[in-house]
Copies of this chain bind each other. A is one copy, B any other.
Amino acid sequence: MIKVAVVGGTGYTGVELLRLLLQHPEVDLSLITSRSEQGIAVADYFPNLRGACELSFSEPNLEQLQQCDLVYFATPNGVAMKSAPALIKAGVKVIDLAADFRFKDQKKWQQWYVEPHACPELLPQAVYGLPEINREAIKSAQLVANPGCYPTSVLLGFLPLLQHDFIEADSLIADCKSGVSGAGRKASINALMCETNENFQAYGVAGHRHLPEIKQGLRGLTDQNIELTFVPHLTPMNRGMHATLYAKIKQSKLKSATLSDDIQAIFEQRYQDETFIDVLPAGSHPETRSVSGVNMCRIAVHRPQDSDTVVILSVIDNLLKGAAGQAVQNMNIMFGWKEQLGLGTIAAIP
């Protein structure tokens, strides 16, 4: 059992993380902080936790946090970077679910999150917590930057073909659809039921903060020049993310008489040992609900009309493999436990 704290547990990522940690056999959840809700019983705030959590939200307190083995930050962007240095110094492991430590280049952070980085000296040691790419580094990391939801679904989809040099990297397209919980749990007109229900729209086409994160990730997968068009959309549901990815197959590969089978095989082989990635049979269409509430990415790959364009369909639950679930997976790796510990894999349908 390790002592774990969650800083900022009042959002959707936060409550999902609490749900997982409260059921995790190796975790003693000893502290949940929230400046705005301090003193309130967590189970009064989130009635789904009644009977499962005795804690109240407390004011963030460095001393108490330093006594933990692991501190999760489920805070807005820009919060973790202010507290992390003292925790790192004290030997505490840190997993940040926000964007603070995702960029290797502090200028990228400043450009997209519009404030200077508070601890650029920690960036070199921060590990981007996508286990399917960085498992070894995560094992020994003290500071893990949990990936964004869009980057997770897009990177896992492009990864096998980029690593096999099968596609042109300079004309990638990621058309992504997210449930509304991605907008967070804060008072905002844009995320109201009556603004999002029975409605579908794109947003942030000019430039979403996950764009540079995805591009940085893609660059780690290939030496090719990366050009990516990324269009996120809001879809009227609570949870779920669907990435529809388009890429041109390299001219040199088009000659294969078994091209579609080759592509399917590349995905199956690349992910055969990954517990949380499920490559569907050729011709499948993954449903977001099939991963709802579980830490899983399901992927299908198509070559419609036998053309030179490959279409990859990748689904995750934005709050699980796209946030809290991946954060628990990272913890399991950091502490040397079985990777699926505390992470169920069967979604409830419907």
Contacts and interface: CB of A to CB of B under 8 A. Distances in A.
A198 to B, nearest CB: 5
Contacts of A285: 201-203, 205
Interface in A260-274: none
B189 A236 contact: no
Contact of A48 (B186, B201, B211, B290): B290
A18 B292 CA distance: 16
Max chain B Cβ within 10 angstroms of own Cβ: one of A186, A189, A211? A189
Contacts of A222: none
B188 A191 contact: no
B287 A231 contact: no
Contact of A289 (B199, B235, B240): B199
Contacts of A22: 346
Nearest to A175: B175
Contact of A350 (B197, B246, B307): B197
A302 B244 contact: no
A51 B274 CA distance: 12
A345 interface: yes
Q: How many copies does the complex hold?
A: 4
A181 B350 contact: yes
A64 interface: no
A320 B35 CA distance: 36
Contact of A287 (B47, B177, B192): B47
A311 interface: yes
A287 B181 contact: no
Contact of A177 (B12, B23, B177, B237): B177
Interface string A167-203: 0000101010101110001111101111111111111
Contacts of A12: 194, 349-350
A298 B47 CA distance: 10
A52 B296 CA distance: 13
Interface string A294-310: 00001000101101010
Contacts of A291: 48
Given A198-B292, A346-B52, A350-B181, A311 B205 contact: yes
A256 B171 CA distance: 21
Cβ-closest 4 pairs across A and B: A194-B350, A48-B347, A199-B289, A187-B187
Given A193-B236, A231-B304, A236-B237, 15 more contacts: A19-B349, A22-B346, A23-B344, A48-B349, A50-B298, A171-B171, A173-B246, A175-B244, A181-B194, A191-B194, A199-B240, A199-B350, A207-B304, A229-B304, A246-B246
Interface of A: 12, 15-16, 19, 22-23, 46-52, 171, 173, 175, 177, 179-181, 185-189, 191-203, 205-207, 211, 227, 229-231, 233, 235-240, 242, 244, 246, 248, 278, 280, 283, 285-293, 298, 302, 304-305, 307, 309, 311, 313, 315, 344-350
